[in-house]
Amino acid sequence: MSIRGDKAKAYFTQGYNCAQSVLMAFSDITGLDEKTSAMLSSGFGGGMGRMREVCGAVSGMFMAVSIVSGYDDPADLEGKKRTYEMIQTLAERFKAQNKSIICKELLGLEKPEGTHIPEQRTPEYYKKRPCGDLVKDAAEILEGYFISQGVIKE
């Protein structure tokens, strides 16, 4: 059981997008307040602005880990290397559980819906979309990563 996984899924069921849900679940670790987390990640839902590219849950996971463990000096080649390795590790863990990090593939779509207009969050929406479980997976993967790195305690 994962506190952050449950928290991310709860944010999603409140209406936040996938990226917001994951990033907000780590607000206490990133140092960002919930509003800043929500604003920063708002454009990454729906696979980046509903284009169905990289899954928003994965983007939220990447944002959170980069805030905590990324690099800020463009000359820091070791930092850049560690950051990219960290991102690839997390992507592989998500892929191992879900077979992809691409939104349209996770949703079983052949192509994006072709609109920027999000669907209404109805009970039917939540029944047909795996997104709640995907945000939970992403948050659990990141939580496990942070535990293994000593960032947070179990």
pLDDT tens per residue, range 88-134: 999 999 999 999 999 999 999 988 788 899 888 888 888 888 999 99
Q: Which two tokens stand for residue 38?
A: 């929500």
Place 1 in a pLDDT band, splitting at 50, 70 and 90. Answer: low
Q: Which two tokens stand for residue 132?
A: 């709640």
| pLDDT tens sequence across 11-68 | 999 999 999 999 999 999 999 999 999 999 999 999 999 999 999 999 999 999 999 9
Provide the residue ranges of all domains of the chain, joining segments of one domain with +: 3-148
Rounded-to-integer distance, Cα 144 and Cα 17, Å: 22
Cβ(100)–Cβ(47) under 8 Å? no
Q: What is the mean pLDDT of residues 4-14?
A: 97
Q: What pTM, to 2 d.p., does this model score?
A: 0.95
